Amino acid sequence: MKLEKKKLIPALITIALGAAVSLASFQAGEVHFPQNTGVSSKPLEETSEDEGRFTDDSGKVRVDFQALKEQNSDIYAWITIPGTDIDYPVLQKTDSEDPYDNYYLNHTVDLAEGLPGAIYSQGVNQKDFMDSVTVLYGHNLKNGGMFSSLHNFEDEEFFEKNRRIIVYTPNNTFTYEIFAAVEFSDDLLPYVYDFSKASEVERYLDDVGNCKGNFREDTLVSKEGKILTLSTCYSGRDTVRLLVEAVMIDQEETK
């Protein structure tokens, strides 16, 4: 496995920070996810879904976060992308001092070490999805699990027909509209861009817009919006990542 950070990090800074931060974690410039693994994630998916996500009598999707947190207290959200196989809990390592922690790169929801890992964010992001840009990471696996289905959005027809991402949290349901699917560098986004600054969000959106990929021109996206970035890798291409970009268009309080 190769974890890289490229661009904007002078060698002396890298050396200095390396003493304080795990190098593998810190250098995860958009984490490189291993390919051609043949590991099946289905049993874990079924366990999580059966225990925590269901449709009530009115047809409304519900997530039982109490049950999910009994399985793993690091679960804080659930992501579903209609038209794909992406339907998973979202985790963040809560006891790590490293804001770029990648524990769930190589640990499953039930804390077993190894593949398929889990869908996760790093500690640099809040867990309420109110950051200007929230980045979620997931493996691109040979068997199609985790974030492998994001590659469907490279197809222009599929991209046009599939627009929504839904994120459930204990307090809210967020709906996002996908506005781009692009080939991007393997930079560690929350490090290269200071998303706490509107100017940096604007710079990031400009960089996304200059990439090769599919775009939804009729979607309103601004530096004031709440952006969701989904990141996975390409098979055999270590220096680039596939990013699916979406903007929040609706927030419904959980009742």
Q: How many whole angstroms separate alpha carbon 135 and alpha carbon 186?
A: 13
Does 208 reside within a domain? Answer: yes
The answer to whether residue 6 sits within a structural domain is no
CATH code assigned at 27: 2.40.260.10
Residue 2: inside a domain: no
Mean pLDDT score across all residues of the chain: 82
Residues spanned by the domain of 80: 11-253
Does residue 62 fall inside a structural domain?
yes
pLDDT in tens, 42-92: 444 444 444 577 777 666 788 999 999 999 999 999 999 999 999 999 999
The per-residue pLDDT for range 145-159, each reduced to its tens digit, is 999 999 999 999 999
**Is 23 contained in some domain?**
yes
Assign 237 a pLDDT band (cuts: 50, 70, 90): confident
Say if 5 falls within a structural domain: no
Q: How many other β-carbons are positioned within 10 Å of the β-carbon of residue 236?
A: 7
- pLDDT attached to residue 255: 77
Query: How remote is the C-alpha of 42 from its chain's centroid?
Result: 19
DSSP helix/strand/coil, 166: strand
> What pTM value is reported for the model?
0.80
pLDDT over 70, % of the chain: 78
Candidate ranges 4-13, 32-41, 188-197; pick with highest mean pLDDT: 188-197
pLDDT at 8: 35
| CA-based torsion, 239, 192, 137, 115: positive or negative | positive
For the chain, the domain total comes to 1
Question: Which residues, 6+ apart, have CB-to-CB distance to 254 below 8 Å?
Answer: 168, 169, 170, 171, 172, 173
Average pLDDT over residues 119-137: 97
Residue 215 lies in a domain: yes
| Residue at 3 is within a domain | no
Q: Quick: pLDDT tens for 9-45.
A: 333 333 333 333 333 332 333 333 333 333 333 444 4
